Amino acid sequence: MPERSIFIFLLGALLASVLPAASVSALPIGFGCITGNVAGDCAIGEAQLAVEVTDLGSGQVLFTFSNAGPAAASITDVYFDDGTLLGIAGLIDSDDDALGVFGDAGVDFSQDASPPDLPGGNTVGFQVTAGFLADSDPPAQPNGVNPLETLGVVFNLQLGGTYADLVSELASGELRIGIHVQGFATGGSESFVNLPVPEPGTAALLGLGLSLLGLRRPN
């Protein structure tokens, strides 16, 4: 086998083994605006709000909601639409330590939420699962997830459910995550639903394909 072919084969094997393993440890997900009350507010939310899904092992997953800033905006409600999740095991904020550590001092949430349904969620068929929601304590906007703050929500998985199942459901839309955001400079509010994520392994295959294309040279 020519030297270049051997190198490409070994590189492909390495990427195929390493990239999928890295992709299942923590999955960053963006949001898309579903209400469109103010275009600028939607753009702010889509640019600086995200959730990262982390495999904790032992049948638990962590959803970390973040606000990168700098524009004024506050995540005040989080909602989950079915999937392999069993129920909220705990929160990570100023006075909750589901994993033995407290969160940001300015973030204070409780399980359940008001309103009980994602505002505007009916336009995209978003149906909140009972008990799969949380909101910031009064006053809502100051206690929400403001710029440079985070909120952690720990979930138990259903018996037999895995992190890989969860990622597949996020890719297929069987599981969706919604947030209600207030505190924009306009005084308005918007709702967002997570953007689709690639099927497990898709990112790895794409990276492998691009790498091989990059290595190909004319004879």
Beta bridge partners of 62: 54, 154
* N-to-C CA span, the chain: 16
Residue with tokens 């304590």: 137
Q: What are phi and psi of 195, to 5 degrees?
A: -75, 155
Alpha carbon distance 182, 202 (integer Å): 35
Helix (H, G, I), strand (E, B) or coil at 60: strand
Cβ atoms of 94 and 108 within 8 Å: the answer is yes
Query: Is residue 180 very low, low, confident or very high in pLDDT (cuts 50, 70, 90)?
Result: very high
**pLDDT tens readout for residues 26-67:** 899 999 999 999 999 999 999 999 999 999 999 999 999 999
Structural domain boundaries of the chain? Answer: 1-24+200-219, 26-194
Cβ atoms of 180 and 191 within 8 Å: the answer is yes
At 24 the pLDDT is 42
How many residues make up the chain in this entry?
219
**pLDDT tens readout for residues 114-150:** 999 999 999 999 999 999 999 999 999 999 999 999 9
Burial class (CB in 10 A: 0-12, 13-18, 19+), 179: buried
> Mind giving me the DSSP string for 149-193?
EEEEEEEEEPTT--HHHHHHHHHHTSSEEEEEEE--TTS--EEEE
Q: Report whether pLDDT(6) > 70.
A: no
Q: Which CATH class is domain 26-194?
A: mainly beta
Please give the mean pLDDT across all residues of the chain: 86
At 205 the pLDDT is 43
Angle between the 202-215 and 3-23 helix axes, to the nearest 10 degrees?
160
The CB-side HSE value for 27 (13 A sphere, CA atoms) comes to 28
Q: Report whether pLDDT(4) > 60.
A: no
Which of 93-102, 122-131, 177-186, 191-200 has the weakest average pLDDT?
Answer: 191-200
Alpha carbon distance 84, 90 (integer Å): 17
Alpha carbon distance 97, 111 (integer Å): 14
- For residue 27 the two structure tokens come to 């999955």
Cβ atoms of 214 and 4 within 8 Å: the answer is no
